[in-house]
Amino acid sequence: MPQMRDIRLLGEPFLPGALIGQFTQANPGLGGVCTFVGEVRGGIGVEALELSHYEPLTLPGMNALADRAFARFDLMGLLMVHRIGMMVPGEPIVCVSAAAAHRRDAIDAVDFCMDHLKSAAWFWKREKRRDGWHWIEPRTEDHADRARWGN
């Protein structure tokens, strides 16, 4: 069965529901779909968030991550969409969705991709707070999360 792959960087807001609906339709016969949607958190003093990337590395890096997910898990399809640019609280930043015959592959693939996107993908994030812009470095937990997968 052909594998369905949809890896994108988006400069404009997106609706996860629309992406996931199309993605699920494109994977007939699946057993389960796991999806994670990350949003800009509200209520913690963040007024805006800007994600920058380096074109020659970022999209190839996401595709290489997808290659590894397909090699590691038994997947029918993988969707990985990441925002770049300026966002406000409540806006989706990232949507990863994996379709598989069995739920364990779908859930683990999403977990794997999110852990690597968080600490190993070529994105730089800064947050605007009342006192101005602050660059964000990965949290210790993010490195620990990635280490679970043996790299």
Partner 1 sequence: MTIRVVFLGRLADIAGTDAVELALPEGQIDWDGLLGMIGAQMAEVVHAETVKLALNGAVLPDKAALVASAGDEIALLPPVSGG
* Residue 105 is a binding residue for its own copies (CB under 8 A): no
Tally of CB atoms within 10 A around 113: 25
DSSP code string of 17-34: HHHHHHHHHTSTT-SEEE
* Residue 93 is a binding residue for partner 1 (CB under 8 A): yes
**CA–CA separation, 34 and 124 (whole Å):** 26
* Residue 137 is a binding residue for partner 1 (CB under 8 A): yes
Per DSSP bridges, beta strands 85-87 and 32-39 are: unpaired
Contacting residues for 139 by C-beta, under 8 A, at least 6 apart: none
Could you tell me the two tokens for 143?
């490195």
Query: Of residues 8, 38, 48, 119, which one binds its own copies by CB under 8 A?
Result: 38
* Residue 120 is a binding residue for its own copies (CB under 8 A): no
Query: Of residues 5, 7, 8, 32, which one binds its own copies by CB under 8 A?
Result: 32
Which residues sit at the interface with partner 1, rule CB under 8 A? Answer: 38, 51-52, 54, 56-57, 60, 82, 93-94, 114, 117-126, 135-138, 142
Which residues sit at the interface with its own copies, rule CB under 8 A? Answer: 17, 20-21, 24, 28-39, 41-44, 89-90, 101, 103-104, 106-107, 110-111, 114, 118, 141, 145
